[in-house]
Each structure stands twice: as C-alpha cells, then as structure tokens.
Structure 1
Amino acid sequence: MKGRMKKGKSPSSRRGEIQHLYQCYTSEQTILPVCALLKFLHKEQMELTANEEMAESLIDRYEIEETARESRSMTFEGFLRYMESKDCCVFDQAHTSVYQYMDQPLTNYFISSSHNTYLTGDQLVGRSHLDAYVCALRKGCRCLEIDCWDGPDMEPVVYHGYTLTTKILFKDVITTVEQHAFEVSAYPVILSLENHCSKEQQEVIAQYLISILGEKLLRTPLDHPTTGDIPSPNKKKVAKALSDLVVYTRSVKFISFSHSKDNQNYYENTSMAEKKARKLAKASGSDFVEHNQKFLSRIYPAGSRTSSSNYNPQEFWNVGSQLVALNFQSLGLPMDLNDGRFQDNGGCGYVRKPAVLMSSQKSFDPSCSQHRQKPTHLLLKVISGSNLPISRSGKGLDSFVRVEMHGIASDSRRKNTNTVKNNSLSPHWDADMNFSISVPELCLIRFCVREQTGLLSSEFVGQYTLPFTSLKKGYRWVPLRSRDGCSLDPATLFVFVWYS
C-alpha cells in the first residue's frame, strides 16, 4: 500500500480518500503537474508503460478547467473524474474487446454454454419461452440446448420431455436464434439438439434449419489446413443438426479416457452429467485435462436438480472442459462465475484456455495442490463502499464485503471484512486481505457485499466477478451487480490491488 492510506483514517466518502491521494502527490502545490500524475500512475496504479504522453492524454480527457489544461496540470476535480472513470475500473479495459487469438481449434477455448435453454423456471412445471433464448444469446452464450419432440400437425415442439413444462414450436426457436445469434458476438453458435423425434419430424427439423438459418448454417466441413482438427471460432457460422447437418460435434457416449484416445474422432464430443464428470475429475484429473486437449466435452447439471439449480462450473473448467452448461435462468454464484469468466475477451462467449491446460509436455492435475515453485501473492485492501442500496427496512445497511477466490481446490478461499453498521452511503472497512494463488490463470475473484442480518446470518446485496488475469493493480473501483447480473450503478467498492 506504499503506506499512503493510513489506518484509522476514515474520510466520509471515496471522494475523501481520493483527495488524500491527490494531496500526497501535489505536495506543496495546489494542483497536480503532469510529472506528479505520471509518478502516481507508475507508483500506485502500476501502469508501468505510462509515459508523459499518456499522462497528458488523461489531462485532456478528464480536466475541464482551461488554465489547468494549458499548464499540463490536473485540478482535484479532474483527478476525481479520472479516478471514477473506466480507466480506474478493477477490470482491465483492454479485455472489453476481443484480444485473444481466435484461430485455434475450438477445443482450446472455454465456450459459454446453456442447459435446457428454453426454460424460464424449474424442470417440472416451468415455462418454456423464446425469451429464454434471447436472454442467453444476449449474455454471449454460444451453445444452446434444444430438446425436440414430435408435435401435432407435423410441427416439432421444444420442451422438457415427460414433464409439465410448456411447449414451444421448434420453428419459432430457430427463427429466434437466427434473429439474435450474432447480436453481441460474431463467433459461432453451437446448437445442441436433444432429438426425440420420429424420422418424419426429424426431416421437418432439418428443413427448418436449412430454410430459416440459410447461409448462417454450417452444412459441410470447412477447408481446414490442419486436417484432423476441429475448426477455430474464427470460422463464423451457426452450427449443427441431424445426420447430414451434424458436421463438427456429433455426440458419442463416453466409455473411458483410453477408449476415447484410441477410438474417438476429433469431430465427436462427449456429453456427461456433473456427477460422472466430478468422479472422473477427482479420480484422474490429468487424464481429463489431456482428453479435453483433443476433444470437446460438455458437462450438464444432474437430472435430480429439478429446481434448475446449478453446480459450480469452476470444477469443470479446472479440467479444461469447454462446454460447461448451466441453467442460465437460475441466478446465484454459479451464474456469477460464468458471467465473470465470459466477461473476458470482449464478452464474445469464447475464452482461450490457459497454457497450463494445453501443455502436452507437463501433465496438470487440478486436485494436486503443489503446482509451481512460486505462488502468486495477492494483496487486496477493501477500503470503502459508495452508494450501496439501502436495506429493505429503509435504513442504512449493516454491510460487510466477502472476497472469494475460485480456482483449483487449494486456491479456493474466502475472507470477510468486519461489518459497518447503518451506513449505505459510504461504509469504510479498510481491511487488508492476503491470498496465495498457485494457478492464477484459472482463478476468478468475486467481490460480494452482504448485509449482516443476525449473528451468523447475512443476505446478498451485490457482487462483481472477474478473472484474476483481468485484474488491474492500484487504486480501483469495483462496479456492483444485482442478483440478476444488472448494474447497481452508482454502487461501487473502492479497493487497492497488488500482486507479485
């Protein structure tokens, strides 16, 4: 913390804390010259590539007082505008657009995937609705599930078979997909068809796919220079359906890793329920990682989750499974992690798997805790909050912040600040937290604000999740989101981040 934020200092708001920082760098002067701003960028924000030109561009962008701009300086108001801008967000703004290489085989990416995409509620009596597909696609989802059954008048329907969930027409689902597939991402959508239809209605399905999706449907294998390899996401098409139309992801039954190695084709994928996948991950994690270097694997929630609850997706990303499918309609921790993971790489729904999962030389087993000689040390100082929602009773929150690490089992930890009573406007925690992380490239960090409701009970207020690899050092603000992933703006946390 470079000794700047003194313990016991409780400015009334984040503004006060920023004023304190500003004064540390103006020293005797009343205004911040460009050289002092540059020093702040290097020393506190760890913007090591910053030069005078960059500091001047910040003055141009955030300083509105003419005389200060002309003298290449920043008033406190300009500095405050900069500190509250996206430039000081905890999430690396370079990661808000697609920055990863998109020309690797699909097996090298985590792909945002939805389970029972048609449902808006539980799996027994919930509603099936086209809006569920629109919502998933708008969240950057790139693998949709469509359960197809014979319907009246030769019109196939989509619903959760043998239950009381409502039915929607297959042709309406495909029309919806066609309209919204590429609204937020230009990269391929995989349609996972669970086919329960008669031969006659299967032909109807194939015709709808061809006539409605038209040019967007991938119907023949792409010319791919590395034959014997699944294509990359850069081949921009919607994909998959029925015998001739199933080009790249024909589903096959999983027997064993050695059976797959000897018999499985590169264009075949395996789909398995969470319990089986969990057992395999625990018993032979490194074999699972190796399997996922060659083949796509899709994991889906257990059938016993009738309320459409979700498992923690992190445990399957840890073994390199690409299609870790969740019930997008069910809010809570698993979907927060999914949103955090896929906020990366411009929210395009494809995120490169880290090198540790792709190495053919070194085998990686996420359940072994000793991974590298030198773990990463993370220091997080949770300084304060600003404009938090007021409690249901209408008074200020009794709030604390829980910081969670989600990675391999030995890296997964959580720590709480103390509780600040009756203050939603500007609670001040000033809490230091230290974490040791052995595989940071798999790690997600979740900031969760909670309201203390009893001695051992607390309630969710807001959260924000991001990959460790998108975490910016220095004094940063954390935007908070509601249970359903919507912005709680202007509610934020103010933190200091440092890691080595």
Structure 2
Amino acid sequence: MKKSKAPSSRRAEIQQLYQCYASGKTTLPACALLRFLHKEQMELTANEETAESLIDRYEIEETARESRCMTFEGFLRYMESKDCCVFDQAHTSVYQDMDQPLTSYFISSSHNTYLMGDQLVGKSHLDAYVCALRKGCRCLEIDCWDGPDMEPVVYHGYTLTTKILFKDVITTVEQHAFEVSAYPVILSLENHCSQEQQEVMAQYLISILGDKLLKTPLDHPTTGDLPSPNKKKVVVAEALSDLVVYTTSVKFISFSHSKDNQNYYENTSMAEKKARKLVKASGPDFVQHNQKFLTRIYPAGSRTSSSNYNPQEFWNVGSQLVALNFQSLGLPMDLNDGRFWDNGGCGYVLKPAVLMSSQRSFDPGCSQHNVKPTHLLLKVISGSNLPVPRSGKALDPFVRVEIHGIASDSRRKNTHTVKNNSLSPHWDSHMNFNISVPELCLIRFCVRDQTGLLSSDFVGQYMLPFSSLKKGYRWVPLRSRDGCSLDPASLFVFVWYS
C-alpha cells in the first residue's frame, strides 16, 4: 500500500473536526454540516439551504454534490474560504447608518498627504494622494505656498521637501476621490498663500472639481447639525473663506468656551501633545465636545521622520479626524487600516453608542464601566505557509495577540515559539481576555520570528475591530508591513466571546 503524505498540522485539525461531525461516515451530509455551522461557527441564522449552498460552492466531487454531501476536500476548501474568515464578511460592504451628522463618525484622515518620505527632505508626490485615496482616506491635507508665475505649490514649508503644483494635486483628487468610496472627501488646506494666489487656488478648485465641489450649504433641516456622509460630494475644509461651507477651522480655547461660542460648522485642529493633555485632564468633556464638533488631531511637529502616534487614544474620546502619516508603516497605520476595513472600507465608521450617549458620561481613563466585561477566549491553533525571510532559513515563529482599546483593556499575550517551522507551525495556545469596552477595541494577530532570547522580527499581521470578529473556527489572512496580502500565509484560530 502506498503511504499517503502526512497531512500538515492545519489539515489534521480540520480532519478532526470533519470526522467529529461525519460520525464515521465517509462524507458529511448537509444536516451534519448545518449542525457544525450552528454549534461551532455560531452561524445561528444558517438553515438547510445555507448548508446546501456551501456544498454547491465548495464541493467538486459530482456524486457527493448530487447526494447533498461534502467530502473532506470540499470541507477543507470551505474552511479556508472567505466564508470562514475571522473578519465578518457582512462588514466588507457599507452596512452602517450613513445618515447621521459627520460628527458621529470616525473618518479616515491623512497628515502631510503630499509626502512620500520624511518631513525634512522627503519627496512630495501626486502618488501619495492616490495611495491615500485608494486606502479609503477621506480627509487629505494640502499645504499651499506661493509659487513662481502665480502658480501655488504644495510642499512642507521651510524644509527641503520637493514641491508639486496645487492644480496637479486638485486634478489628482478629482480623478481618484471616489474610486474606492462614494462618501465625501474633506480637503484640509493649510494655506500660506498671498491673496492673489488664494484666488488662483479658488479658481482651480471650482474649474477642476466642477459639481463635485460643495459650494453652498446642502438642503437639510437646520438642526444645527453637520450634514451626513450620504450627501456625497467633495467637501473643502479649513481655507478660502467663500468655499468653506461646513468646516471652518477655529482655535481651541477650552471645552466650556466651545460649548458657549463654537458654531456647529466650525472645527478645531490640535497637535497630539495638546490633545493628549486634554484626554488625561478631562476625558469625559472631550467625549461630549466630539458629540457636537469635529476635531482634527495631527502628529507633533517634532516627528521629523514622519513617525505616527497611537490613534487609539484619540478615537477613545471620539475624535473624528485622527490624522496619520499614511506613508509611515507600523502599528499606528495597522490600527488605522483595521479600524477602516470596517463598513466596506468607505472611510467612515460610525462611532459606538458609548461615545454618543447624552445621558451617560463616558471616561476612557476609568477602568470600571459599571458593566459586566466581555470575556474573550482565543485559541491560536496553527499557522500555514508563513513567508520565509530572504536568508531562506525557516522561521522560529510565535504569535502575539494584542488588544487595543481604552487603557485598561489594552494588553498583549504571546504563544510559545515553535522551532524551525514556517510551513505548518502548531501552537494550540489558549488566551483569555476580559474587555470592558469591546466596541472600541481592535484585535491584532502578529506573527513574529524569534531571533534571540529577547529579540524577534515582524513576519505578518492582521488587525480587525472586535465588532467584526466572527466566532468559531476561523482563518486569519496575514498582511505584510505595508498592508498587502501575504496569501496563502494565514493562521487558524478558534474564537469565543460572551
């Protein structure tokens, strides 16, 4: 008898599940598949029809398909498909209420959008705008300065960054604004131009953007609220007074001053240090301020290498425009990507109710939230096809699971390290977390290669909102440092929460 090839560890895991539900039979009938969907995958709305449609989709063997059964090969194909992804596939399209005022959303926002590198000698490039827009970014920054021949230019003032023409930036925005999202784009114009060149800018905005430019207030009841994202247009922010309709920038003085004096169409921009002080000193006031007004947070000027702060601390108080350097890879951009995969990647994600309640004040700095915490159990079972480093040496991989939320919910746990196995490492590691405000949390699975006693290298990661986490046996599609798919590299996990 020919000896069959030993199944890789993930196949062994899936084989076990399959046999458990096939109860000794050679194939899995639709009713047993349905039992698996209900019991393990918590797909409670699944019915006989759901099971049969999965058989039609994933079973290749004719006879099995005709008798409404699944072979192991079909079951494996299903278990490694989008239908078993850890990210809820219903959230890959716009599913949230898009008729709330703009203040009710987190809005994907970029800082110094024109830069491809650092803020001192980096290159300004139109591609940077294209990249940001293709990532679903909805708030772009344009630093405008007087240029030769009455042509305004865009660059980082008083530095050696290269210059690009303002008219080319607006043309690029016009071409790419609605490629991946139909919802409004906010242009944050940092304006250093003379009166004459401001007029040139205004002309370009009107002539290039045409009807995509919002020039007059939209018809909506005068509730003293900003319009909703459903009013799909390009919006211009923070400059050129005649064209600013909804987002006039004003200096922030204090929360009580804003309460008494700020208009709903005025927003405040502040650097991370000032914002961080306000979060620490008066978190609940900040949350309430952001129920009524738009707040834009941007990285400190001292970050000359264009590094980023952790955006989570400002989402925790409901700031809508938490602006990051999109060209700088690492954890902050992973968090931003994870936050905005949600709601179809449209760049607008509804803030959770806890940040919008006028009855109960929310303090992200406090760990007791008078609610029973959510208990999350994650079992990191195995990995598959992990990318091997350039040296070609097999990895010594471990998985770090991180929870990012309010301070008291944020923690991380590691599996043990598996020696010398990139193809099918097996951890079978159980992790328990108690989470008091899950609706603000992001979960990150990060695979690392143990290179020394205390050192490890990044291999791949995946970040998603807790609210998009599916229960049951799931696979986690790994991404590279720059957010690209590392397919077929993935993790196999079991998720449960109550």
CA positional deviation for 1:212? 0.3
User: How far apart, in 2, do the equivalents of 1:473 and 1:206 lie?
Assistant: 51
CA positional deviation for 1:17? 1.1
Contact 1:299 1:323 in 2 (8 A): yes
* Change over 3 Å in CA distance of 1:17–1:405 after alignment to 2: same
CA positional deviation for 1:20? 1.1
CA positional deviation for 1:392? 3.0
User: How far apart, in 1, do the equivalents of 2:174 and 2:25 lie?
Assistant: 60
CA positional deviation for 1:419? 0.5
CA positional deviation for 1:88? 0.1
* Change over 3 Å in CA distance of 1:8–1:40 after alignment to 2: farther
Q: Provide the TM-score with structure 1 as the length reference.
A: 0.97
Contact 1:105 1:230 in 2 (8 A): yes
State which of 34, 39, 48 in structure 2 corresponds to 1:52.
48
CA positional deviation for 1:13? 2.5
- More displaced stretch, 134-143 vs 7-16: 7-16
Deviations 1:411-437 (A, max 9, x none): 000000000111100000110000000
Say which SS state the counterpart of residue 218 (structure 1) adopts. coil
Contact 1:157 1:169 in 2 (8 A): yes
Other-structure match for 1:225: 221
User: How far apart, in 1, do the equivalents of 2:137 and 2:4 lie?
Assistant: 45
* Change over 3 Å in CA distance of 1:240–1:213 after alignment to 2: farther
Contact 2:382 2:426 in 1 (8 A): yes
- After the TM superposition, which parts of structure 1 deviate over 6 Å for at least 4 consecutive aligned residues? 5-11
Structure 1: gaps of 5 or more residues: none
CA positional deviation for 1:323? 0.1
- More displaced stretch, 240-249 vs 251-260: 240-249
CA positional deviation for 1:224? 1.0
CA positional deviation for 1:14? 1.2
State which of 155, 163, 172 in structure 2 corresponds to 1:167.
163
User: How far apart, in 2, do the equivalents of 1:263 and 1:343 lie?
Assistant: 36
CA positional deviation for 1:199? 0.2
Other-structure match for 1:209: 205
Deviations 1:95-147 (A, max 9, x none): 00000010000000000000000000000010000000000000000000000
* Change over 3 Å in CA distance of 1:403–1:223 after alignment to 2: same
User: How far apart, in 2, do the equivalents of 1:337 and 1:28 lie?
Assistant: 45
Contact 1:124 1:163 in 2 (8 A): yes
CA positional deviation for 1:471? 0.2
Contact 1:111 1:350 in 2 (8 A): yes
* Change over 3 Å in CA distance of 1:10–1:317 after alignment to 2: farther
1:316-327 → structure 2 map (5 Å cutoff): 316-327=314-325
Contact 2:188 2:237 in 1 (8 A): no
CA positional deviation for 1:226? 4.1
State which of 370, 374, 377 in structure 2 corresponds to 1:376.
374
User: How far apart, in 1, do the equivalents of 2:176 and 2:27 lie?
Assistant: 50
CA positional deviation for 1:228? 1.1
Say which SS state the counterpart of residue 495 (structure 1) adopts. strand
CA positional deviation for 1:12? 3.0
CA positional deviation for 1:9? 17
CA positional deviation for 1:329? 0.1
CA positional deviation for 1:372? 3.1
Contact 2:352 2:439 in 1 (8 A): yes
CA positional deviation for 1:63? 1.0
Say which SS state the counterpart of residue 377 (structure 1) adopts. strand
- More displaced stretch, 104-113 vs 68-77: 68-77
User: How far apart, in 1, do the equivalents of 2:398 and 2:182 lie?
Assistant: 40
Other-structure match for 2:403: 405
Contact 1:10 1:428 in 2 (8 A): no
* Change over 3 Å in CA distance of 1:348–1:7 after alignment to 2: farther
Say which SS state the counterpart of residue 203 (structure 2) adopts. helix
CA positional deviation for 1:72? 1.1
CA positional deviation for 1:28? 2.0
Give the total of aligned pairs.
496
User: How far apart, in 1, do the equivalents of 2:454 and 2:183 lie?
Assistant: 45
Other-structure match for 1:287: 285
- More displaced stretch, 430-439 vs 66-75: 66-75
User: How far apart, in 1, do the equivalents of 2:33 and 2:412 lie?
Assistant: 35
Other-structure match for 2:96: 100
User: How far apart, in 2, do the equivalents of 1:159 and 1:150 lie?
Assistant: 11
Other-structure match for 1:187: 183
Contact 2:308 2:324 in 1 (8 A): yes
Contact 2:237 2:248 in 1 (8 A): no
User: How far apart, in 2, do the equivalents of 1:362 and 1:382 lie?
Assistant: 37
Say which SS state the counterpart of residue 100 (structure 1) adopts. coil
Q: Provide the TM-score with structure 2 as the length reference.
A: 0.98
Contact 1:188 1:239 in 2 (8 A): no
Contact 2:114 2:154 in 1 (8 A): yes
CA positional deviation for 1:218? 0.2
Residue 391, structure 1, aligned to residue 393, structure 2: no
Contact 2:238 2:249 in 1 (8 A): no
User: How far apart, in 2, do the equivalents of 1:6 and 1:411 lie?
Assistant: 53
CA positional deviation for 1:53? 1.1
Contact 1:240 1:247 in 2 (8 A): no
CA positional deviation for 1:328? 0.1
Deviations 1:352-404 (A, max 9, x none): 00000000000001000001320000000000000001123212101100000
- More displaced stretch, 67-76 vs 409-418: 67-76
User: How far apart, in 1, do the equivalents of 2:229 and 2:158 lie?
Assistant: 35
Say which SS state the counterpart of residue 221 (structure 2) adopts. coil
* Change over 3 Å in CA distance of 1:7–1:324 after alignment to 2: farther
- More displaced stretch, 173-182 vs 238-247: 238-247
* Change over 3 Å in CA distance of 1:282–1:9 after alignment to 2: farther
1:471-482 → structure 2 map (5 Å cutoff): 471-482=469-480
Contact 2:190 2:239 in 1 (8 A): no
CA positional deviation for 1:6? 28
Other-structure match for 2:194: 198
* Change over 3 Å in CA distance of 1:344–1:146 after alignment to 2: same
CA positional deviation for 1:455? 0.4
CA positional deviation for 1:91? 0.2
* Change over 3 Å in CA distance of 1:6–1:22 after alignment to 2: farther
User: How far apart, in 1, do the equivalents of 2:393 and 2:369 lie?
Assistant: 47
* Change over 3 Å in CA distance of 1:113–1:9 after alignment to 2: farther
Other-structure match for 2:7: 11
Contact 1:190 1:240 in 2 (8 A): no
* Change over 3 Å in CA distance of 1:7–1:176 after alignment to 2: farther
Deviations 1:13-65 (A, max 9, x none): 21221111100111121110111101100111011111111111111111121
CA positional deviation for 1:71? 1.2
CA positional deviation for 1:10? 11
State which of 141, 146, 150 in structure 2 corresponds to 1:145.
141
User: How far apart, in 1, do the equivalents of 2:434 and 2:354 lie?
Assistant: 18
Contact 2:191 2:239 in 1 (8 A): no
- More displaced stretch, 58-67 vs 136-145: 58-67
User: How far apart, in 2, do the equivalents of 1:159 and 1:244 lie?
Assistant: 24
